[in-house]
Every structure is written in structure tokens, then in C-alpha cells.
């Protein structure tokens, strides 16, 4: 009886953990979603210091929306969706390949991703990371035998320099990304707080 009760408790615990994981995970890419990102930022922000910066990068794909229209006419609606979905999975894989193991990538929905990078010793290193992510998209993607080119517009903010809470960091990074979209796309912009009004 005790063994059965112990097994039941373990099963319930595993099921609870699985449900919590699903609630924090994007089902398409397997990346953390907004809840997962918030949890990671909450754990990491208390450790951010002037010589151990935390960067939040907001990434939006340039040229994603026309992908299905350009490459799916002859194969029907079902494959149209698959092309876009597979491209997003490939984007997640490429981002992961250009980041350190400790860095986190999240997908907020659509073609919008967030990168959280910790323990950065300088502002320059944060900017260089943004440039490296952007330049990694100069190489085309190949999805179902089709060459697809998309770019990245990136906005970012730093803790503790620009803000110390997750909500403000994300808002600042989003405003910088949006500003970059308005000014020609395919750029990397930091928001120290001066671009905050651009998103309102």
C-alpha cells in the first residue's frame, strides 16, 4: 500500500512538472515562451552588475511575412503553413548555434524572438553579440529545398544600466526594435531609455 501511494505521488509530481514545462514552452520551436522568459529573467536579474551585464535582445524577422506567398503557391495551403513553421524552427536553431550555453532564447509568438545573455563584461560585448546574431542571417535558410532569405532587426537594453526589472527591459528592447523597423530594418539598436516613448 505504501509503495502504491509513493508511486502515485511520484506520478502526480511528474505530471505536474510536465504541465508546468508545457505552460512555459513554445510548442513549435521548443523554446521558452513569455512565461518561461519571465521566470528566467526573474532568476537572473538579481545577479546583474556593472561588470556582469544582462542583455535583453528583442529580435524580429525582416521579410518573414512574404515567405509563404513566395514559396507555396504550387503546393497548397497545408504546405504553406509548413514552410513558415519550418523556417521558424530553423531560425531558433541558428540563433542557438551563435549563443553560449548559458544564454536563453525565447519565442514570444509569430516571428518575434528574445535573447537573454548574462555575464557580459562590457557594453561593447553586448553590442557585438547583437551584430553577430544579425550577421548570422546573411546566410540563407533552406527549407524544403527552397532558399529563403530573412534578416533580423534587433533592439536591446541592458541591466543594470538601462533598467533593473524584466518588464522595463523588455519594453525598452521592444521600442528599440520597433524604431529600427521604422528606420529601414536590418539594424541593431540599444535603448537606454530615450526610445521608450517610441513604443507608446
- Respond yes or no: is residue 111 known to be catalytic: yes
Cα 76 to Cα 176: distance, rounded to the nearest angstrom: 37
The active-site residue, picked from 62, 111, 162, 174, is 111
Which residues are known catalytic residues? 111
Amino acid at each position: 500500500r505504501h509503495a502504491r501511494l509513493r508511486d502515485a505521488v511520484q506520478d502526480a509530481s511528474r505530471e505536474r512538472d510536465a504541465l508546468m514545462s508545457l505552460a512555459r514552452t513554445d510548442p513549435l520551436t521548443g523554446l521558452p515562451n513569455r512565461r518561461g522568459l519571465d521566470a528566467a529573467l526573474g532568476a537572473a536579474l538579481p545577479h546583474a552588475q556593472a561588470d556582469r551585464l544582462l542583455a535583453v535582445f528583442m529580435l524580429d524577422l525582416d521579410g518573414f511575412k512574404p515567405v509563404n506567398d513566395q514559396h507555396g503557391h504550387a503546393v497548397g495551403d497545408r504546405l504553406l503553413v509548413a514552410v513558415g513553421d519550418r523556417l521558424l524552427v530553423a531560425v531558433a536553431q541558428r540563433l542557438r548555434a551563435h549563443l553560449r550555453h548559458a544564454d536563453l532564447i525565447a519565442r514570444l509568438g509569430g516571428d518575434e524572438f528574445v535573447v537573454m545573455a548574462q555575464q557580459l563584461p562590457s557594453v561593447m560585448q553586448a553590442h557585438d553579440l547583437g551584430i553577430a546574431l544579425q550577421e548570422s542571417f546573411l546566410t540563407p535558410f533552406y527549407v524544403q529545398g527552397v532558399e529563403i532569405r530573412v534578416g533580423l532587426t534587433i533592439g536591446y537594453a541592458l541591466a543594470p544600466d538601462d533598467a533593473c526589472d524584466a518588464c522595463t527591459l523588455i519594453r525598452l528592447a521592444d521600442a528599440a526594435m520597433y524604431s529600427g523597423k521604422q528606420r529601414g530594418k536590418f539594424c541593431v539598436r540599444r535603448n537606454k531609455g530615450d526610445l521608450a516613448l517610441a513604443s507608446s
